[in-house]
Amino acid sequence: MFTRAIVRKPGQSMTDGLRDTDIGIPDHQLALVQHAAYVEALKACGLDVLVLEADESYPDSTFVEDTALLTKACAIITNPGALSRKGEIHSIKQVLSDYYDNIEEVIEPSTVEGGDIMMVGSHFYIGLSERTNEEGARQVIAYLEKYGFSGSTMSVGDMLHLKSGVVYLEDNTIAATGEFVHQKEFEGFRVLEIAEDESYAANCIWVNGNVLVAKGYPKAAGTIADAGYPVIELDVSEFRKLDGGLSCLSLRF
Ligand code: CIR
């Protein structure tokens, strides 16, 4: 179970955020409304939510998940692979020092973004992507082992992050799309297949028994509901324009 989440409001500079998909520039006002609804949903799932003010210096800083990995025993501050995002870690480190005695840091030339790390109990799958390199994964695994956890790497084809395509929903269950549906690593899991034409919805999040799913993906929401999860649908269209989704918008611990 999670008790807390940290989020950061999107700033006006989000219109300069990194984006690979060409589905338009985000509308900041609408993003704020969607973000507020996201915060309310986390609260409804029982979380105490710390809402950080927008940081206009970093257009992608609303995607706080990428800046740290939070475990029961330690926080690991990442080193984002995207140059424009590296500075996001300083304020997050400061914030996390209120919650964690043990804070580790990924150091150059290692790069890691939190969206590439999927926690499954005490094991962490780390996606090797354009943002997370092998040296970064090695460093994270070494830190994890220091605290009694384990880690392993996976490749991340053309997705931005590992969790863009696969997430863990507890109860030995994974939601996956595309290349992640038939991975050897996930053979022992119940795999909920998210159709390729709704692949964006694979980035859903388990929060204390509920699953938050992007609104507008009825097949995905149905698959997850049929698997027995109460589903909360949230419109995150403006974050999608920056290739971000539900998991990216918070650090849950
Ligand atoms: C980026 O490209 O870094 C942002 N525009 C989106 C980050 C999304 N984060 C995530 O999937 N964990």
| pLDDT, mean of each 10-residue run, the chain (253 residues) | 98 97 96 98 98 98 98 98 98 98 98 98 98 98 98 95 98 97 95 98 98 98 98 98 98 98
Per-residue pLDDT, 21: 87
Per-residue pLDDT, 243: 97
The protein residue whose alpha carbon is closest to atom 8 in ligand 1 is 244
Top mutation candidate among 22, 66, 79 for ligand 1, by most atoms within 8 Å of CB: 66
Q: Which residues are catalytic?
A: 161, 248
Would you state the CATH architecture of domain 4-252? 5-stranded Propeller (3.75)
Q: Does the CB atom of residue 64 touch ligand 1 within 6 A?
A: no
Per-residue pLDDT, 221: 98
Per-residue pLDDT, 6: 98
CA of 63 to the centre of ligand 1 (A): 6
CA of 71 to the centre of ligand 1 (A): 21
Q: pLDDT digits over 171-206, tens only?
A: 999 999 999 999 999 999 999 999 999 999 999 999
**Domain extent listing, the chain:** 4-252
The beta-strand segments (E) located in the chain are: 4-8, 48-52, 68-70, 75-77, 103-105, 117-120, 123-128, 150-155, 166-168, 173-176, 190-193, 205-207, 210-214, 231-234, 251-252
Per-residue pLDDT, 137: 98
Per-residue pLDDT, 119: 98
pTM: 0.97
Q: Are 121 and 206 in contact (CB under 8 A)?
A: no
CA of 149 to the centre of ligand 1 (A): 26
The protein residue whose alpha carbon is closest to atom 2 in ligand 1 is 18
